[in-house]
Structure 1
């Protein structure tokens, strides 16, 4: 199984890992419980989209507004927020679940 590992603000996570995975003694609960949220460019504005959804959850004029709403949703769901830059590349990701790969140090 080939998986791409993406660098994260807080640790690393395999591309495509989005839903809860089985609890064990180390994690003491689900890692991700809700859908990952994506802040994406939409025409002249920005939007928030849940993973796997074809439609936007919400639309905004600015990226900042979309990030604020996406962060709220991700925190409430214990999931991840991924932010797309103006160049259409995802520039950062924030994990609000139980992080299985916390940063060292």
Structure 2
């Protein structure tokens, strides 16, 4: 995961996703635009979570 130009390593994708959503949620509550993007194996980016439009915490 990358946040504020710093890379973070996680043992699982699920742990990385939770940390990313938590960081985006915190940022969104402070008035910033916040999204979690995931890069697929094909190199394309897809939005996984957007502050204000998705449930918090995410299911799973």
Instruction: Place the TM-score, normalised by the shorter chain, in its bin.
Output: 0.5 to 0.7
Rg larger in 1 or in 2?
Answer: 1
Please tell me whether residue 60 in structure 1 is matched to residue 5 in structure 2.
Answer: no
Secondary structure of the residue that 1:92 maps to in structure 2?
strand
Q: CA deviation at 1:88?
A: 3.2
TM-score, normalisation: structure 2: 0.60
Note the residue ranges of structure 2 that are not aligned, 5 or more in a row: 29-33, 54-60
Residues matched between the structures, number? 48
* Residue number in structure 2 paired with 1:49: 2
More strand by percentage: 1
More helix by percentage: 2
Secondary structure of the residue that 1:60 maps to in structure 2?
coil
- Where do 4+ consecutive residues of structure 1 move more than 6 Å? none
TM-score, normalisation: structure 1: 0.38
Using the alignment, how far apart are the partners of 1:65 and 1:87 within structure 2?
22
**Higher RCO, Cα 8 Å, sep 6+:** 1
Note the residue ranges of structure 1 that are not aligned, 5 or more in a row: 1-47, 99-105
